[in-house]
Amino acid sequence: MAKKRKIDVKAYKKRLTGMREEVEKLSEVTEEARKPVQLDQTMVGRLSRMDALQTQAMQLETERRRTVEIQRIDAALKRMDEGEFGYCVSCGINIELKRLENDPTTPTCFDCAELSEG
């Protein structure tokens, strides 16, 4: 069975909140870049328009990842509130500290993550 261990939840919470703020800030400052590309031929040449479309696609993909990141952070914060933080959501054992330290948003232990990715 899972043994009780001491995790500095407060420190993790601070870190997660900081991460969230950072992601949100990045999302804000890049909002302009995700707006639909101006298709006016007189404004931009054909090549630079392709560039613009490519840049926009990249920005959208980055933004999609930010959304996922925020969801992971929120889920981790919710687990903290419920006293479940640090336990694998899949099998319930303690998530390896090193793993948690590396990514506090991780919801699963190493084995379960391997299984779901494999």
**Total binding residues toward Zn ion, as defined by CB under 5 A:** 5
The answer to whether the beta carbons of residues 104 and 76 sit under 8 Å apart is yes
Q: How many residues in total does the chain contain?
A: 118
> Among residues 60, 91, 97, 115, which is the contact residue for Zn ion, using CB under 5 A?
91
The answer to whether 73 contacts Zn ion (rule: CB under 5 A) is: no
Q: Which long-range contacts (CB under 8 A, 24 or more apart) does 1-5 make?
A: 2/87, 2/92, 2/93, 2/94, 3/94, 5/86, 5/94
> In 3D, which of 90, 80, 84, 86 has the Cα closest to residue 111?
90
Radius of gyration from C-alpha coordinates of the chain:
20
Choice between 19 and 109, CB closer to Zn ion: 109
Question: CB of 108: closest distance to Zn ion in angstroms?
Answer: 5
Choices 2-10, 24-32, 40-48, 87-95 (CB under 5 A): range interacting with Zn ion: 87-95
Q: Which stretch binds Zn ion (CB under 5 A): 7-15, 56-64, 65-73, 109-117?
A: 109-117
90 binds Zn ion (CB under 5 A): yes
- Applying CB under 5 A, the residues found at the interface with Zn ion are 88, 90-91, 109, 112
